[in-house]
Chains A and B, each alone.
Chain A
Amino acid sequence: MSLEQRPVTRFELLMDAGTGAQKAGDILLGAFVGMGQYVYVEPMIPAEISPPARSRPALSGVIIRLADFDVTNIGNDTDLLLAAHEIVLDRRLDDNEFNTDAKILLDMGDQEANPDSYEMVLKRCTKLGLSVIPFDVDPESQTIVKELGGKGQNLHYLGMLSYIYNMDEEIVQSQIIKTFGKKLKEDIMAKNLTLYHNGYRLAKEKVFFRIDVKTHKREGQQILIDGNTSMSMGLIDAGIKLYSGYPITPASSIMHTLAKNFPAYGGMVHQAEDEIAAIGCAVGSYYAGMPAVTATSGPGLSLKQEFIGFATVAEIPLILIDVQRAGPSTGMPTKTEQSDLLAALCGSHGDYTKIIISVSNVIDCFYAPHLARYLTEKLRVPVFILSDFQTANSYKVVAKFPLAQMKNVDEIPDFVFDRFHMKRLTGPIEMVRTQQTLPGTEGGMRRITGLNTDENGKINYFSDNHQRSHRVRNEKIHHVRRALTTPEMFGKDTNEILIVGWGATRGAIEEAITLCAKNGVPASGMHFRIVYPLPLMLKDIFAKYKKVMTVEGTYGDMLKPSSLALLLRSETLKDIHPLIAEATGRPVRPRIIMQKIQEALK
């Protein structure tokens, strides 16, 4: 019996969809957080609601990274894995995210009916050098699961994991009661608790190692929140009053959260008939003076493009949240990617102007709406907030952050600008139309149109005038460009290589640079929160590094620069290639970044 000390470790629970893997993860998480552990959680969500059990698409689960210190990403490799059967394990092995000494707990319950399949997967594990600890759910628990209509297996596994992670059996039990509380009838709850305790006992008898999880005392109030929920709360705090959307994964959970919470803060949720209507209603609302937002993902961004151009020309404020997923087309709705940068940058026709903000963690998600509202109301150009599946769904414990309770955009706190590496805008900002009255303003009647207009708002097809409109719109973006400060940097300010990323890759880049420093690899990092426009001093910064390469969750190769590489090349004329440009649907990993840096420096 060994008690392992690990300052940071990662484990996962894999089950069939709909059998409660994520629920078990949540309970465990609650208990870890109660012990003062830092956690970063990535749910693995199938694209279908009820894919057939014991099939590869049914893989549903949760990956939990635990540490004695703050962790900014899901990390590198799994140390322990509990799988409900051989099929979900086999599917997950494809991702190749396991430490060489990883332990695999495999439920053998289905072996009798599927001996060949089990044999094949066990052989695969042996080949990969992974040690498998087979176990069987005890007969009493099997009977209870049958009585519960196939439910409750997750609590049995939860019991096993509680034992392995050296947790107090009673604390986890109270967490179970807290989680299910009033939802379960007394007798059903009792059966679930029996399953939990049986699992705990089973591990005690069958598993010959435990991982010590230390208890820490944390200063100040801590919250546990995911990206989309944080974004929803941020929208409320930024003073947005209308959410107008259409159901689409993975943006929908913002709409769910607001549907429950918004009316209590004076806000409305409008579920539109389609993606185009959703953005149209947001445009109409902002036109009439009520701050509004629309959010979408994947195909929804394509559908909204015409309205983005209209808002640009009509000078109506517009905030569009895009929670990116793997594309093109329907792609992989529940997998992460950073492949919408160019669609945001150039998606609508006719050279429109725009600002693109990205988010890298739950705190960015909270404040991005504040900055977006400030910029769109000051400049009257569309502002994108680019999130992604990974950032939207991952959750972690953070110190509770301060609220802004913004009523108007001038109330935006300075720390929001600091977070996004820009200064407050100064000086007068010219509009295409001099008059920008809101409907209802006496004497201020005006018409807006997608047609080109002069400064009086009159339709105008003259060549000089159209050129002026473009100049005025682009000057708005230049205001932002000039207000941008040096982006976030990691490591030395001159080095052999600089790796650059945006949005979700921030945590992995930061950790990779720390890892590089420890291993004597001469690398530095840079991360953009505002991705467009880019700051003016980039060329000077890049000059201090022998090589500049990007890290992106989207496809690229030596002949086809990935999105950020393409943008940076055009802005700096530097020969920038992707270091990592992967469209695997999996988060970028710090260890892999370091490996690739080492290869690039050879």
Chain B
Amino acid sequence: MTADTSVPITIKELNTENPRWCAGCGDFGVIMGLKRFIVDRQLAPSQTVNVSGIGCSGRAPNYFNTYGVHSIHGRPIPIALGVALARPDLNLFVHSGDGDALSIGGNHLIHGINKNFKCVFLLYDNEMYALTKNQTSPTTRRDHPTNTQPQGTFLNPLNPITMALGLGASFVASTADWIPDHLTNTMKAAFDHPGFAFVHISQRCPHYDPNNFDHKNSNWFSFLKHPNGIAPDRRLADKSQVVEHDPSNLAQAFQYGAAGHRYFGLYFQNKSKPRYDDILHNLVDKTVKKDPSKILDSFLV
């Protein structure tokens, strides 16, 4: 075992095995963005926990030489909350796909957002189930054919951004796997947020849906820009549009969010929303302690 807090952390040290993802998968970009952030911030790997569910994104924790839990389908949020309650000092990242977070684990996302416990929540949204081989997910665009709805996906997709905003999320940001600087800057803002930081990541799946996100052109999206927000990607900012948006403006955030994958940046942030993990810890800290050698005394007859 080597000490990890005494030496500078490098990308190389954060790597484990070669990821078992398809060539060109957006997941490579997402984990590289997070690794770059960990290196930038020099987060100790031994103090860092990645938690995931099932799916392509679920594999992510296996590819970080930190602590990690690759759990069961849809349930990374309850596990992450358990870790946050047990060890509030650890750096906590949750990795979840659109099927994992918005379908089978939807209830946990609702309540994770509402509980607002401290973690960075990364929603890997490739708009499909990929590991199970190309099925319709809650975010698959309408009429797009899949193995379960070959006639074309029946319903309009859920909008994760307005959903999170509507649930009262204290931090809602959006980025994409192919804009590395913006991705890393988004991780920074999310990590520094005191609460549940909801990060939506548009993620390519070249194997099953190669034409979904046009990563070679940037004329179809804009960056949200504000001194309290996330800086637009320097390399793409010239080509793509940049719009001013104050992340304290919830109504405006809904308007941009409703456009769906057209705006990257910080939609909304409220740093003063109470945190469930803090509330539970404070309750324990502030309660006058009783003598544990007398726990049966109140039942004496």
Which partner residue on chain B sits nearest A400 by CB separation? B296
1/0 per position for B106-139, CB-CB distance to A under 8 A? 0110110000000000000000000000000000
B contact residues, total (Cβ < 8 Å): 57
* B248 at interface, CB cutoff 8 A: no
* B70 at interface, CB cutoff 8 A: yes
* A567 at interface, CB cutoff 8 A: no
- Flag if B280 contacts A306 (CB, 8 Å): no
Looking at the complex, which one of B77, B107, B299 makes contact with A225 (CB distance below 8 Å)?
Answer: B299
With A236-B295, A400-B296, A451-B70 in contact, is A445–B83 under 8 Å at CB?
Answer: no
- List residues of chain A with CB within 8 A of the CB of B44: 442
- Flag if B299 contacts A442 (CB, 8 Å): no
Residues from 213 to 250 in A contacting B, C-beta threshold 8 Å: 221-225, 229, 233, 236-237, 241-242, 244
- Flag if A289 contacts B3 (CB, 8 Å): no
Residues from 39 to 85 in B contacting A, C-beta threshold 8 Å: 44-47, 49, 51, 61-62, 64-72, 75, 77-85
A400 to chain B, nearest CB (A): 6
B112 to chain A, nearest CB (A): 9
Looking at the complex, which one of B67, B110, B293 makes contact with A439 (CB distance below 8 Å)?
Answer: B67
Looking at the complex, which one of B46, B281, B301 makes contact with A445 (CB distance below 8 Å)?
Answer: B46
- Flag if A281 contacts B289 (CB, 8 Å): no
Residues from 450 to 491 in A contacting B, C-beta threshold 8 Å: 450-451, 458-459
* B5 at interface, CB cutoff 8 A: yes
* B23 at interface, CB cutoff 8 A: no
Which partner residue on chain A sits nearest B295 by CB separation? A233
- Flag if A445 contacts B287 (CB, 8 Å): no
- Flag if B75 contacts A277 (CB, 8 Å): yes
- List residues of chain B with CB within 8 A of the CB of A357: none
Which partner residue on chain A sits nearest B69 by CB separation? A448
- Flag if A285 contacts B292 (CB, 8 Å): no
1/0 per position for A256-299, CB-CB distance to B under 8 A? 00000101111110101110111111111111111010000000
With A273-B108, A287-B82, A405-B292 in contact, is A446–B284 under 8 Å at CB?
Answer: no
- List residues of chain A with CB within 8 A of the CB of B69: 284, 287, 314, 447-449
How distant is the Cα of A400 from the Cα of B2 in the complex, in angstroms? 51
Looking at the complex, which one of B108, B281, B293 makes contact with A403 (CB distance below 8 Å)?
Answer: B293
Which partner residue on chain B sits nearest A441 by CB separation? B46
- Flag if B83 contacts A264 (CB, 8 Å): no
The B contact surface, by secondary structure, is mixed
Q: Which of B86-94, B163-171, B203-211, B257-265 contacts A (4 or more CB under 8 A)?
A: B86-94
Looking at the complex, which one of B1, B82, B289, B301 makes contact with A33 (CB distance below 8 Å)?
Answer: B301
* A428 at interface, CB cutoff 8 A: no
- Flag if A270 contacts B1 (CB, 8 Å): no
Looking at the complex, which one of A241, A274, A281, A444 makes contact with B79 (CB distance below 8 Å)?
Answer: A281
- Flag if A277 contacts B293 (CB, 8 Å): no
- Flag if A233 contacts B296 (CB, 8 Å): yes
How distant is the Cα of A254 from the Cα of B44 in the complex, in angstroms? 39
With A264-B287, A268-B85, A274-B107 in contact, is A449–B49 under 8 Å at CB?
Answer: no
- Flag if B296 contacts A442 (CB, 8 Å): no
- Flag if A223 contacts B82 (CB, 8 Å): no
How distant is the Cα of A278 from the Cα of B284 in the complex, in angstroms? 19
Which partner residue on chain B sits nearest A306 by CB separation? B72
* A165 at interface, CB cutoff 8 A: no
- List residues of chain B with CB within 8 A of the CB of A159: none
Which partner residue on chain A sits nearest B81 by CB separation? A281
1/0 per position for B164-189, CB-CB distance to A under 8 A? 00000000000000000000000000
- Flag if B83 contacts A284 (CB, 8 Å): yes
With A444-B1, A445-B45, A459-B62 in contact, is A307–B72 under 8 Å at CB?
Answer: yes
Which partner residue on chain B sits nearest A448 by CB separation? B69
A515 to chain B, nearest CB (A): 29
* A135 at interface, CB cutoff 8 A: no
- List residues of chain A with CB within 8 A of the CB of B68: 446-448
- Flag if B295 contacts A403 (CB, 8 Å): yes
* A34 at interface, CB cutoff 8 A: yes
A398 to chain B, nearest CB (A): 10
- Flag if A280 contacts B78 (CB, 8 Å): yes
Which partner residue on chain A sits nearest B280 by CB separation? A268
Which partner residue on chain B sits nearest A33 by CB separation? B301
- Flag if A289 contacts B46 (CB, 8 Å): no
* A401 at interface, CB cutoff 8 A: yes
- Flag if B87 contacts A445 (CB, 8 Å): no
How distant is the Cα of A306 from the Cα of B105 in the complex, in angstroms? 14
- Flag if B284 contacts A268 (CB, 8 Å): yes
- Flag if B4 contacts A445 (CB, 8 Å): yes
How distant is the Cα of A564 from the Cα of B78 in the complex, in angstroms? 34
How distant is the Cα of A278 from the Cα of B75 in the complex, in angstroms? 10
How distant is the Cα of A21 from the Cα of B81 in the complex, in angstroms? 41
- Flag if B289 contacts A266 (CB, 8 Å): yes
- Flag if A265 contacts B82 (CB, 8 Å): no
* A397 at interface, CB cutoff 8 A: yes
- Flag if B301 contacts A287 (CB, 8 Å): no
- Flag if B80 contacts A268 (CB, 8 Å): no
* B290 at interface, CB cutoff 8 A: yes
How distant is the Cα of A444 from the Cα of B3 in the complex, in angstroms? 9
- List residues of chain B with CB within 8 A of the CB of A287: 69, 79, 82-83, 86
Which partner residue on chain B sits nearest A435 by CB separation? B1
How distant is the Cα of A264 from the Cα of B287 in the complex, in angstroms? 6
- Flag if B83 contacts A439 (CB, 8 Å): yes
How distant is the Cα of A459 from the Cα of B287 in the complex, in angstroms? 44
How distant is the Cα of A449 from the Cα of B75 in the complex, in angstroms? 13
With A277-B78, A284-B69, A447-B68 in contact, is A442–B5 under 8 Å at CB?
Answer: yes
- List residues of chain B with CB within 8 A of the CB of A236: 292, 295
- Flag if A439 contacts B49 (CB, 8 Å): yes
How distant is the Cα of A340 from the Cα of B11 in the complex, in angstroms? 50
Looking at the complex, which one of B70, B280, B284 makes contact with A447 (CB distance below 8 Å)?
Answer: B70
With A224-B301, A242-B86 in contact, is A265–B71 under 8 Å at CB?
Answer: no
With A266-B289, A401-B296, A443-B1 in contact, is A280–B79 under 8 Å at CB?
Answer: yes
Most B CB within 10 A of own CB, among A222, A285, A439: A439
- Flag if B300 contacts A221 (CB, 8 Å): yes
* A440 at interface, CB cutoff 8 A: yes
A261 to chain B, nearest CB (A): 8
Looking at the complex, which one of A34, A265, A270, A443 makes contact with B4 (CB distance below 8 Å)?
Answer: A443
* A300 at interface, CB cutoff 8 A: no
Which partner residue on chain A sits nearest B61 by CB separation? A447
Looking at the complex, which one of A224, A237, A281 makes contact with B78 (CB distance below 8 Å)?
Answer: A281
- Flag if A289 contacts B62 (CB, 8 Å): no
- List residues of chain A with CB within 8 A of the CB of B293: 403, 405
How distant is the Cα of A397 from the Cα of B87 in the complex, in angstroms? 40
27 contacting pairs across A/B (C-beta < 8 A):
A221-B300, A224-B299, A265-B292, A267-B284, A268-B283, A270-B85, A277-B81, A278-B78, A280-B79, A281-B78, A283-B71, A285-B83, A287-B69, A310-B71, A400-B296, A400-B300, A439-B46, A439-B83, A440-B87, A440-B89, A443-B2, A443-B3, A446-B67, A447-B61, A447-B62, A447-B64, A449-B69
- Partner-A contacts on B (CB < 8 A): 1-5, 16-17, 44-47, 49, 51, 61-62, 64-72, 75, 77-87, 89-90, 107-108, 110-111, 280-281, 283-284, 287-290, 292-293, 295-296, 299-301
Q: A237-B292, A241-B86, A445-B67 are in contact. List 10 more A-B contacts (CB 8 A).
A: A221-B300, A264-B287, A276-B75, A277-B81, A280-B81, A400-B296, A444-B1, A446-B68, A447-B69, A448-B70
Going nearest first, the 8 A-B pairs with the smallest beta carbon separation are A284-B82, A280-B78, A443-B1, A290-B86, A288-B86, A284-B79, A263-B287, A449-B70
- Partner-B contacts on A (CB < 8 A): 30, 33-34, 221-225, 229, 233, 236-237, 241-242, 244, 261, 263-268, 270, 272-274, 276-290, 292, 306-307, 310, 314, 397, 400-401, 403, 405, 439-451, 458-459
